[in-house]
Amino acid sequence: MNDIAKRFQRDTADHEMTVLHDDGLYRHLLFHRVVRKPGEKLSRTDLYWFELITAPGSLIFQGDGESFVFRRLEDMFAFFRDSAWNGAPNIDYWAEKLTDGCDRVVVYQQEMLVQQVKEAVGEAKLDGLLAAVQEEVLDQLLDDSNWDRKLVDDFRFYVNGDDKYDYRKSPDFEFWCPLEWNCTGYHWWFLWACHAIVWGIAKYDAYRADKAEIAREVRDDRTRDAAGLE
């Protein structure tokens, strides 16, 4: 289970579903945290609440953060059920179905750049390199893609420090094409929302199954009554 999946599990541990509307492909489901304080009734809180709203051809996720609108099939619950990976979000594919494109949910992630910096330094195995990178690059990062990448791209290391003043000397180490490194990933809230969709649909399916079972039992009781059976 990845970090976002674990976080979602923690964030929704006390959540319950309220069905606000359920008419074919028109659904409005509210998921909210419910807590019980000693001596008090259950009460709703707005911490990490979210809603799933569907109409033919679209699903809206909205809640305690940005909202997302997906479009693909007439029944979007069926789309998300069928395209999930063994019950887990199919992130890349689902991002393609956002009505306003996936660019706004893909963000620079500094930790990815730092990881690649450390890997390159570890492979070089040059005395003094790690300290120089720490001082001139890692300690200067601002979590800004352009600034951070330029720091890495401009870095040069010379085992003999005086060599950097001699234009005839080549550096003993420099990062290879850091401007082309992939340092982006999906925003955590979008990942959280995708987990919410999977979890919310599962809750809804369980609700519908329970409702169908109750209806079946009522029909059976009526059939027995009509037949004069005990």
Q: Are residues 45 and 65 in the same domain?
A: yes
Confidence bin at 51 (pLDDT 50/70/90): very high
Q: Are residues 157 and 199 in the same domain?
A: no
Q: Are residues 44 and 80 in the same domain?
A: yes
Inform me whether the pLDDT recorded for 228 exceeds 70. no
**Over the chain, what is the mean pLDDT?**
91
Q: Are residues 91 and 175 in the same domain?
A: no
Whole-model pTM: value is 0.82
Residue (of 97, 94, 74) closest to 83 by Cα position: 94
| Residue-level pLDDT at 211 | 87
Q: Are residues 16 and 97 in the same domain?
A: yes
Kindly report, residue by residue over 133-155, the tens digit of the pLDDT: 999 999 999 999 999 999 999 99
Inform me whether the pLDDT recorded for 37 exceeds 70. no
Q: Are residues 139 and 76 in the same domain?
A: no
Total domains in the fold of the chain: 2
Q: Are residues 207 and 152 in the same domain?
A: no
Percent of the chain with pLDDT over 90: 77
Inform me whether the pLDDT recorded for 42 exceeds 80. no
| Residue-level pLDDT at 38 | 65
Domain stop point among 163, 182, 201: 182
Q: Hey, is 42 helix, strand or coil? A: coil
Amino acid at 210: D
Rounded distance, CA 54 to CA 25, Å?
6
Q: Are residues 140 and 169 in the same domain?
A: yes
The answer to whether the CB of 189 falls within 8 A of the CB of 94 is no
Full domain range(s) for residue 153? 110-182
Q: Are residues 144 and 64 in the same domain?
A: no
Q: Are residues 101 and 204 in the same domain?
A: yes
Higher pLDDT, residue 192 or 42: 192
Q: What is the CA radius of gyration of the chain?
A: 27
Q: Are residues 45 and 81 in the same domain?
A: yes
Q: Stretch 90-96: mean pLDDT, rounded?
A: 98
Domain stop point among 146, 161, 182: 182
Instruction: Determine the distance from the C-alpha atom of residue 226 to the mean position of all C-alpha atoms in its chain, rounded to a whole number.
Output: 53
Inform me whether the pLDDT recorded for 174 exceeds 80. yes
